[in-house]
Chains A and B, each alone.
Chain A
Amino acid sequence: VSALAFLGLPTWENFKPFIVTGLALGGVYAVSGVGMVVLYQTTGVLNLAFGAVGALGAFIAWEMINNTGLPTWVAILTCIGFGGVVTLTYGVIFGPPLAARDPLTKAVATLGLALILLGAMSWIWSDKARSLDLSTSNSGFEVNGLLVNWTQVIAMGFAVGLTIVTVIYLRYTRTGTAMRALADDREITATLGVPVRRVEASAWFVSGCVSGGAGLLLGNLVGLDAATLTFLVISSLAAALIARLNSVVVTLIAGLAVGLVNAMLAPILSVSEYRDMSPFIMATIALLWLSRKDIRVTGVR
C-alpha cells in the first residue's frame, strides 16, 4: 500500500472494486471474442457486425420487456434467437458469393450489415436514455467487502462455460471436426464430402446467438446505447487479435485481461482518460511478442 502511495497511485482498497467490474466486462469481451474466432476459423469472415447484431437484439428485448408485457425470459430468448437468425441470414446470402474473396473484403462487407443495423436502431429508437433491467442485477452477494451482482457472475460464467463447451464441441462432435477441417483447408474439406455450406451455416447461427447473448449482457452492464454496443466489438476484436484469431482459450484469457486492465486503469487519474486505448496497446504488445521469431528471421526493413 505504501509503495502504491509512494508512486502516487490509488491504494489497493481503491483498486479492489474495479476487479469485479473489469472481470464482468472482460467476460463479455471474451464471449464476443470466442464467437468471432469460431466464425472466423470456420468461414474466414471476421464479423464486424457482431456488436450491432447484439445491440439490435438488446433493443428488441427492451421493447418487449417495457412495451409488450411479455415475460423477460421470452425477451431474452428472442434477443438470442434474433442474433442467430440475422447472422445466419447474412451468412447464407452473402457467405457463398464472398467465399473466394480475401479476408479483408469479407470483413468490410460485414460493416455494411453493421451500418444498416446501426441506422435502423437510430431510426427506430432515437438517442434517448433507456435502461435494460435484468432482475439478476438487483441482487448479489459480497466477497471481501465487494458487491457482486448476478449479472456480473453470469457474464464471467458465460465466458468460461462457452469456452469449455466450444473446446469440447470442436474436439468431440462431427460438426466440430468439420469446422476444424474447414479451418485447415476449405477446398480439401469440401472434396472429402463435408457439407461445407451446412457447417458454415451452423457457425453463422451459433456465432449470431452468442452475439445476441453478449448484447443482452452488455445492454445491462454498460447501458442500452446503439453506438456504444456496436463499437464495443472493438475491445472483443483486440482479445481475438491477442489470440491471433485461432485460439478460443487464449481469447477467453485475453478478453478477461482486457476488461480487467481497462477497469484497473480507471482510478489512476493520470491515465484514466486514455484507458480506452488499452485493448489495442495490449494487442500490439502481444502481437509483437508472438511475432518476435519472425522479426528475428526477417529483420526489420
Chain B
Amino acid sequence: MHVNPLSGRKRPATALCAICAAVLLSLSACGSSKKDTSSDSGGSAKSSDTSSGGGSSSSSTTASKCGLGNNKPASGTPVKLGAIVTKQPGTDFTDITGGAKAYFDCVNANGGINGRPVSYLVETEQTDPGQIASLAKKLAETEKVVAIVGNISLIECSVDHKYWEAKGYMEIDAGIAPECWSTPNSAPVNMGPRYSSDGAVQTLIRKGVKKIAFIQSNVPGTGYIKAGPEIVAKAAGVPITTLTANVPVQDANSVAIKAVQAAGPGGGVVLNFTPPEALKILQGAQRQGLQNQVKWGCSTPCNTDFLAKALGSAWNGKLFVNAELAVTDDPGPDSTLYRNIISKYAPKIPLGSFSQMGFIQARIVTDALMKVKGPITVKTANDAIAAVKNFKTDILCKPFYYGQAPLHIPNNTDLTTTPKDGKMVKDEDCFAISDAEPDIAKVRDIEKQQGAS
C-alpha cells in the first residue's frame, strides 16, 4: 500500500537521501582532539609496600613500588613526558595512556622521580598524518617533553619516526605500524598485531587445526599484518586463507559464517580486531552455533576480562588468545601493583592488555629516569632509556631491553589465554614467536650479540 499515492508534493528524495548519507558517513571520520594532563600528586601513597619488582612469574603477592615509594607527594619542577594516542570512532586506544597516567599518578604520590612530579601530556589524534606530525612537534618543541612514552597510534610510528630520530627521542611505545618495530628509535612493549597474530596462529597449529582462516579489519596495513600468519602457517605446512571485514562490523553473523566456511572442518579461525569488533564476530558465531565447529584464536586485543565477561561461559576454553603480557590476575609484584593502581587511580579503565601496556611503559621509563644523575634533559633522559637492559617484570615473558639497534622487538615471547567464566586465564605458558619471521630471526641474533636477553 502506498501511503501517498497521489501526492502532488515534490520531495527531492534521491538528492536528500544521498546528501544525508554522505554527511552521515563523514561523521565516522569525526572525533575530538583533547589533551589530558597529569601533574598532580595523585592522592595518598600506595597501599602496597616497597618490595622491588622483577623476576618473572613470581608467586609473590606483594606489590612493587611506585617511584621512590616513600608515600610523600612529589613537588618541584615537573618532568614533562608526552604521548600521542589514536582516539576516533571505532578505534580508541586511550586505555594505554590511561594505564601509564595511573602509574605516574602513583609515582607523583610517592616521591616522584627523585622528588620531581611527572607531568604527562597526552595528545589524541584521528589518523591524520598532518595532525600527528604537528602533535609531535608540539610535544617536543612547545611543551619540551623530555621523553615519549605511551604512544599508541595506527600510523604515528610511520609519520614521526624520523622526527624522533632527528630529535634524539627513544620512544617506548605500544606499536601498531610496522615502523614501530623496524626503526632504531622505537621499542614497543607489545609485539603488535602481526607478531601477536603469528602467536595465535602458532597456538592453533599446536592444537592440531588442518587449515587456518585469518580474518582482520579492512584498514590500512592489513597487507603487512597478514604476511606474518602466512609465513608462520607456510613454515608449519598448514594451509591458510586471509580475509578482511569492514569495520565497524555491521553483519557479524555473516562475517563469522564466512570465516568458519573458509577454515573448513577441523580448521581454525584467527581474529585480529579491536575487542568490540571481535566480540561482535564471536557472538555472531555463538548465535549460529559455530563456536564448536572450528578452533578460535585471537590476537592480543581479545585478552581483556571485559571481553571475557561479555562472552560469558559459553566460550570457556574455546577461544585461544595470544597474550603479549601476563594475565591480569597474575600474582607477581608488578601485576599486583598494576591492579592496585588501576583500582585506585583509574577505576573506569578495565584491567586488560591495553592498560597493562601503559603501566609497564610508565614503569620502565620511571625506572630509567630515576637513574639519571644531574639535570633531566632530552639527552640524559633518552640516554637512560636507551640504556635499559634486563628490566625484569612479571608482566612480560622476557626481561625488557632497549639498546642501540636498527630495529627493536624486545617482546618476542608470549603466552596464550582463554576465557573462563568471565575472566581471561592462562592456557599456555610463554613460547617464542616463530623465527620463520625474518625480523624475529634478526632480533634473536641481535639479542645474542648484545647479551640483551
Contacts and interface: CB of A to CB of B under 8 A. Distances in A.
B3 A263 contact: no
A222 B250 CA distance: 6
A129 B9 contact: no
B253 A21 contact: yes
Nearest to A122: B89
Nearest to A232: B250
Contacts of A25: 251, 253
A243 B106 CA distance: 60
B254 A273 contact: no
B24 A247 contact: no
Contacts of B253: 21, 24-25, 221, 263
Which of A18, A180, A225 gathers the greatest number of chain B CB atoms within 10 Å? Answer: A225
A137 B253 CA distance: 12
A176 B289 CA distance: 43
Nearest to B87: A127
A277 to B, nearest CB: 10
A249 interface: yes
Contact of A103 (B11, B251, B261): B11
B12 A129 contact: no
B2 A246 contact: yes
B317 interface: no
B399 interface: no
Contacts of B13: 241, 244-245
Contact of B89 (A227, A249, A280, A287): A227
B90 A127 contact: yes
Contacts of A287: 14
Contact of A115 (B27, B243, B306, B311): B27
B250 A228 contact: yes
A184 B14 contact: no
Given A184-B9, A223-B252, A46 B246 contact: no
A127 B312 CA distance: 19
A171 interface: yes
B62 interface: no
Interface string A129-157: 11101000100000000010101000000
B4 A184 contact: yes
B92 A127 contact: yes
Contact of B21 (A131, A170, A234): A234
Contacts of A48: 20, 23-24
Interface stretch (A36-44, A71-79, A193-201, A209-217): A36-44
A80 interface: no
B283 interface: yes
Given A129-B310, A149-B287, A273-B246, A227 B2 contact: no
B51 interface: no
Contacts of B306: 128-129
Contact of B257 (A21, A137, A221, A234): A21
B275 A129 contact: yes
Nearest to A227: B89
> How many residues of A sit at the interface, in one of the four size bands?
35 or more
Nearest to B2: A247
Contacts of B250: 222, 228, 231-232, 235, 276
Given A147-B289, A185-B9, A233-B24, A130 B276 contact: yes
A246 B254 contact: no
A10 interface: yes
A190 interface: no
A128 B276 contact: yes
A38 B4 CA distance: 10
Interface in B234-292: 243-246, 248-255, 257-258, 261, 275-280, 283-284, 287-289
Contacts of A249: 1-2
B52 interface: no
Contacts of B279: 129-131, 223
A241 B310 CA distance: 36
Contact of B3 (A44, A170, A233): A170
Contacts of B248: 223, 225, 227-228, 231
A130 B310 contact: yes
Interface string B210-241: 00000000100000000000000000000000
B7 A46 contact: no
Contacts of A115: 27
B166 interface: no
A171 B12 contact: no
A266 B37 CA distance: 45
A235 B2 CA distance: 21
A48 B23 CA distance: 10
A208 interface: no
Contact of A263 (B90, B249, B251): B251
A70 interface: no
Given A129-B307, A223-B283, A269-B243, A108 B7 contact: no
B283 to A, nearest CB: 6
Contacts of A269: 243
B356 to A, nearest CB: 16
B353 to A, nearest CB: 13
A31 to B, nearest CB: 16
B134 interface: no
Contacts of A228: 248-250
Interface in B348-387: 348, 350
Contacts of A130: 276, 279, 310
Contact of B20 (A17, A46, A183): A46
Given A46-B17, A137-B287, A222 B310 contact: no
Contacts of A151: 287
A246 B5 contact: yes
Nearest to B278: A129
Contact of A222 (B21, B89, B251, B307): B251
B390 to A, nearest CB: 35
A56 B8 CA distance: 36
Which of B19, B23, B28, B254 gathers the greatest number of chain A CB atoms within 10 Å? Answer: B254
Nearest to B14: A287
Given A183-B4, A225-B248, A228-B249, A263 B21 contact: no
16 contacts: A41-B4, A122-B89, A128-B275, A129-B307, A131-B283, A133-B312, A180-B4, A183-B3, A222-B252, A231-B25, A233-B24, A237-B21, A245-B11, A262-B251, A272-B243, A276-B250
Interface of A: 10, 14, 17-18, 21-22, 24-25, 37-38, 40-41, 44, 46, 48, 103-104, 107-108, 111, 114-115, 118, 122, 126-131, 133, 137, 147, 149, 151, 167, 170-171, 179-180, 183-185, 221-223, 225, 227-228, 230-235, 237-238, 240-241, 244-249, 262-263, 266-267, 269, 272-273, 276, 280, 283, 287
- A-B pairs with lowest CB-CB distance, top 5: A223-B280, A21-B253, A183-B4, A131-B310, A266-B254
